Structure 1
Amino acid sequence: MRHPDFPSTVAVPPAWEASLRLAFAARGERTALVERRHRGPLLVQKPLYPEGGICHAVILHPPAGIAGGDSLEIGLAAGAGAHAVIATPGATKWYKSLGRAAAQRVTLELDAGARLDWLPQENIVFDDAHACLSTTLTLAPGASAIGWDAVVLGRQASGETWARGTLRMDTRIALAGSRRALWLESARLDAGSALRRAPAGLDGLNVMATLWAVGEGATPALAEALAETLPYRADLRAGVTRLEQDSHAMLLLRVLGARMEDVRALMVRAWSALREPIHGVPARPLRLWAT
């Protein structure tokens, strides 16, 4: 998709189209990666088992960034009783788009009793990028999931601001067989939007993140306990909300910050506190987070 303000006479490089399909199934006391199909530059490393029977997989995107016109599709299915942990080795970089939008669409499907930790590293949106991120999670009864998305507006490490571009984020979390979503959000942000400075918006902060935790353990008491640990200061603030539908519940954690390091540390602490109540499994920080 070409941005309307971009001159049509400027040559643009060809776009990448890539897809990855993963399926996990319980095999005795271990979860196995039973399907792994890919097209284009989107791969997964060999499964690892640092927690015994829980299957850990790392998604790789060899180009190391998403350019204008690129389209990435990631699909994951976890069978009954399976438990998978998905991560990425580094931040996803959204490059200057040369007038074209780039997109990443993630679809996660969990059967009864399945568990998922969806823990990608942050998205860094370069100046003049037009990024579209979409995540859809569908859970059968008894399934549980914890996941997050984090976005850095501009390359902070290089001193670059996000002065031009657009960001769109669509998220849908629903119960299998239900027409109503447990949580549905569609957000669009322009680089020049007044919301970036407004106190009711981003309030001048360039890092934002959302963590969702869905499962029977998402109780009011857990929400209150998490809320008591959250900071609220000028450069880092967070809040938690509990949502419920048809006896199913989820916790939604929102974070705004000035530095990705602080936001990441807060998200890891929250995941560590939520994992056992939500999944029934103690938290074990990923080795990737220490590299």
Structure 2
Amino acid sequence: MTLSVAEPTLLERAWGRVFLGVAPRDGRHAVAELSQSGCGRLLFPAVARDAALEAVIINTSGGLTGGDVFKADIHLESGTKAVLTTQACEKIYRSDGTDADVETRLHVEEGAALAWLPQETILFDGARLKRRLIVDMGETSNLLAMEAVLLGRKASGESLTRGLFRDSWRVRRGGRLVYADETAFEGDLAARIGAAAALKGASAYATVLLAAPDAASRLDAAREVLNNEAAEGGISTFDGLCVGRLIAQDGAALRRVLVALLRALGGELPRVWHN
């Protein structure tokens, strides 16, 4: 008798891309170009005529796992303002060994202002994610960027014990590299997360960056927030930047501090954050 060997199952992978161009139109910050494909979508809540354009990125696949790809490309013309966020927390599920790939490119021309404020990324146990944030901005433009990560859902008794996460930031202003940041952890993560030199056992953390001509003037207000909130962190200023890092015991505590910190840095919070 001959036994047949089943072919390996090829799992369907999610792929999504969004492109948004923002330009001045009749006194408004308006959508000039829009492209969306795969599981990528953009929604635009109604705002006041003179308010910054608000855009919400949606991943219709409901989350990412190994082999999935999602890319966003945002371009603001000179003098425009926009606030970008996501509809919900992005969930990165357990992988079969391959990596999910997320890339965001932000182009902010002279005199434009962009707030990149996605909701938290949740890493489930066994998740594998490689993420890149690439920014090209003008000397007089303004960028407020934030990325927050939850290591499992603490309220559900989840924790992150294994997996991979690599997060890369590159910010160029006037063509000059002004900020580069790399975060990487892989393998057996429990001991690494608990180390004093890492997260001290915290299950949530965030990086916040303000790049603006007046960034240094926001430092005192930002530090006052950190001195009065239930999260551990710090913020510094250099070369027209304010850079802050926070850790917290859970996502709710982290969100409370982030809301106050982003406001202190002059941020305009997306309405979906309040829902």
Give the TM-score, by structure 1 length: 0.87
Structure 1 residues 69-88: aligned runs within 5 Å: 69-88=67-86
Q: Which residue of 1 aligns with 2:192?
A: 195
Q: Which residue of 1 aligns with 2:271?
A: 287
Q: Which residue of 2 aligns with 1:240?
A: 235
Q: Which residue of 2 aligns with 1:31?
A: 29
Cα distance between partner residues in 2 of 1:211 and 1:105: 18
The total of aligned residue pairs comes to: 268
CA contact (8 A) 2:135 2:171 kept: yes
Question: Structure 2 vs 1, CA of residues 66 and 272 (structure 1 numbering), >3 Å: closer, same or farther?
Answer: same
CA contact (8 A) 1:162 1:191 kept: no
Structure 1 segments (4+ residues) deviating >4 Å: none
Q: Which residue of 2 aligns with 1:207?
A: 204
Specify which of 144, 155, 158 is matched with residue 157 of structure 1. Answer: 155
Shift of 1:223: 1.4
Question: Structure 2 vs 1, CA of residues 59 and 114 (structure 1 numbering), >3 Å: closer, same or farther?
Answer: same
Cα distance between partner residues in 1 of 2:124 and 2:103: 19
The SS at the match of 2:105 is strand
Structure 1 residues 109-258: aligned runs within 5 Å: 109-178=107-176, 181-190=177-186, 192-193=188-189, 194-219=191-216, 221-231=217-227, 236-244=231-239, 249-258=240-249
Question: Structure 2 vs 1, CA of residues 259 and 50 (structure 1 numbering), >3 Å: closer, same or farther?
Answer: farther
Shift of 1:191: 5.0
The SS at the match of 1:98 is coil
Point out the more displaced range, 200-209 or 186-195: 186-195
Gaps of at least 5 residues in structure 2 are 1-6
Shift of 1:51: 6.8
Q: Which deviations, in whole Å up to 9, do the C-alpha atoms of 1:16-70 show, x marking residues without a partner?
A: 2221111001124210011111220100013531473321111111111011100
Letter of the aligned partner of 1:269 in structure 2? Answer: A
Q: Which residue of 1 aligns with 2:20?
A: 22
Cα distance between partner residues in 1 of 2:187 and 2:158: 13
Shift of 1:187: 1.6
Identical counterparts, % of pairs: 26
Q: Which deviations, in whole Å up to 9, do the C-alpha atoms of 1:112-143 show, x marking residues without a partner?
A: 10000111100000111101111011111210
Q: Which residue of 2 aligns with 1:3?
A: none
Cα distance between partner residues in 2 of 1:287 and 1:177: 33
CA contact (8 A) 1:33 1:47 kept: no
Specify which of 270, 281, 285 is matched with residue 261 of structure 2. Answer: 270
Q: Which deviations, in whole Å up to 9, do the C-alpha atoms of 1:222-259 show, x marking residues without a partner?
A: 213321321488x7201001121xxxx11011000111
Cα distance between partner residues in 2 of 1:105 and 1:94: 14
Q: Which deviations, in whole Å up to 9, do the C-alpha atoms of 1:157-178 show, x marking residues without a partner?
A: 3212111111110001111322
Shift of 1:147: 1.4
Question: Structure 2 vs 1, CA of residues 211 and 184 (structure 1 numbering), >3 Å: closer, same or farther?
Answer: same
Q: Which residue of 2 aligns with 1:4?
A: none
RMSD of equivalent CA atoms = 1.9
Q: Which deviations, in whole Å up to 9, do the C-alpha atoms of 1:78-120 show, x marking residues without a partner?
A: 0000101111121000011111100100000001100001111
Q: Which residue of 1 aligns with 2:3?
A: none
Cα distance between partner residues in 1 of 2:49 and 2:263: 14
The SS at the match of 1:37 is strand
